[in-house]
Amino acid sequence: MDREQSGRNLTLQLVHTLGAAIVQGKYAEQQGLPSEAELCEEFDISRSATREAVKMLTAKGLISSRPRQGIRLKPRESWNMFDPDVLNWILKGTPTLSMLKEFLQLRIAVEPEAAALAADHQDDALIARIGDALDRMRAAERGLEDPLEADIAFHLSILAASGNPFYIQLRSFIETALRVSIRYTNRIKGVSTASNEDHKKIYDAIVKGNSQAARKASKEIQEEALELIISELEAQPC
């Protein structure tokens, strides 16, 4: 490994270490982070690698760094929640039911419209990928596929088939969050795999070019999951 690559790896390691610590509340907001010099000493890496890590965390909305002010933590509202790293750090901690609810609210706003767009767009190759993912979901019911990966592939294929680059750009965010939310809602329902028939309704509507039916079928899946999360929230002690 050359020197530049080694420095890059150390930078990324520091980004992930500090990023996870920040979103999981290991640093007090009033306290801030150690200085760059202190981080260099604590993690035994160069000043340049540390400075680059600070820049990356700043771009993710987690910190600010200014002369004479040091490195300050930014409030949660400033975090770039669409950054896959930020979301992954949060989900690797203990995501709250409230956060899962907020994620499902976003899915309801996005995925039914993506399904409707896929029905209108009618890209045969991309629709075929949705069908392939559905086949994987059927195989998962027989124990021949990973149920989580098949389910995620189905939803991501719909985003791709929408033909809308803004929906497609949400792929990493949706994929990261689905890995937690699908497991959780399936556990509440007491199942290990998603309903193949419910997902087939979306696929059939897209194939037929029926955007209204595709939107409705997708929304029903999202709303069912949201209702499960809300019911769990309401059951929690005050």
Residue 222 CA to residue 196 CA, distance in Å, equals 14
Residue whose pair of structure tokens reads 């890209």 in the numeric block: 123
Segment holding 71, helix H or strand E: strand 70-73
Q: Which of 130, 87, 114, 108 is nearest to 225 (CA)?
A: 108
What pLDDT does 212 receive? 98
Which domains occur in the chain, in start order?
3-78 (1.10.10.10), 95-235 (1.20.120.530)
Block mean pLDDT (10 aa), the chain, length 238: 61 94 83 86 90 95 86 91 88 80 91 97 98 95 91 96 95 86 79 80 98 97 89 80
Burial tier of 43 (Cβ tally within 10 Å: 0-12, 13-18, 19+): middle
Burial category of 184 from C-beta neighbours within 10 Å (exposed 0-12, middle 13-18, buried 19 and up): middle
pLDDT reported for residue 237? 74
| Single pTM value for the model | 0.82
Query: If we measure between CA atoms, which residue out of 59, 63, 60 comes closest to residue 36?
Result: 63
Q: Identify the CA nearest to 225 among candidates 190, 180, 189.
A: 189
Helices (H), the chain: 3-23, 36-43, 47-59, 84-92, 97-121, 124-141, 147-161, 165-168, 171-189, 196-207, 211-235
Output the pLDDT for position 1. 41
State the Cα–Cα distance between residues 73 and 64, nearest whole angstrom.
7
